[in-house]
């Protein structure tokens, strides 16, 4: 008796997929010609109609989201102040390139989780305008992710800056 896993793998290797004429395929989501749709094709190749203007517009959307987060979230201001203080300390102490890389990864972790937390809060408020315990749990989990990133970043900051601070306090 043959192993069913080997049979299915052999059959999958023998599959002959039909050739698709992509020029004749309409876009099922937009109901228009696929080639006029400025996104990626399913094969992952940039769409021929995609323009630099469309790519730059997506950056504008991203910057608008960051601006919205900073304008509406008090914790984002706390992160901004902490980022400025840590960045300034790095310049003052002339930390190494590796230490800069560690701090930049921490900045990215905290800011990314704060952005995701803001997005989760906004979507949760949209989906459940009145209080719902599951919506509250979703917000708590997202806030917990920010806390994990912030605590980890504080630990990395201590590992980076305590030796520099110690040499200032006790030179020898």
Q: Token digits for 69?
A: 């987060």
Torsion of CA 18, 21, 24, 26, to 10 degrees: 60
How far CA 136 is from CA of 40, 126, 128, 140, in Å, comes to: 36, 13, 10, 6
Alpha helix (H) residue ranges in the chain: 4-14, 52-72, 74-93, 97-127, 133-169
- 121 as an active site residue: the answer is no
Task: Give the C-alpha separation, 153 to 79, whole Å.
Answer: 11
Q: How far apart are CA 22 and CA 14, in angstroms?
A: 23
- Cα of first residue to Cα of last residue in the chain, in angstroms, is 77
Catalytic residue (one of 99, 114, 121, 130): 114
* Active-site residue set: 114
């Amino acid at each position: 008796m043959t192993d069913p896993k080997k049979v299915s793998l052999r059959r999958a290797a023998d599959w002959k997929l039909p050739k698709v004429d992509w020029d004749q395929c309409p876009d099922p989501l937009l109901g228009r010609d696929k080639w006029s749709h400025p996104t990626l094709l399913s094969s992952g190749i940039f769409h021929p109609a995609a323009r630099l203007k469309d790519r730059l517009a997506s950056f504008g959307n991203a910057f608008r989201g960051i601006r919205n987060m900073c304008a509406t979230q008090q914790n984002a201001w706390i992160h901004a102040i902490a980022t400025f203080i840590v960045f300034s300390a790095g310049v003052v102490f002339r930390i190494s390139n590796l230490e800069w890389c560690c701090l930049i990864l921490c900045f990215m972790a905290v800011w990314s989780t704060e952005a995701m937390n803001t997005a989760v809060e906004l979507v949760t408020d949209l989906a459940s305008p009145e209080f719902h315990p599951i919506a509250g749990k979703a917000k708590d989990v997202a806030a917990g992710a920010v806390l994990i990133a912030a605590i980890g970043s504080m630990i990395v900051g201590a590992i980076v800056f305590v030796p520099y601070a110690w040499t200032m306090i006790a030179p020898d």
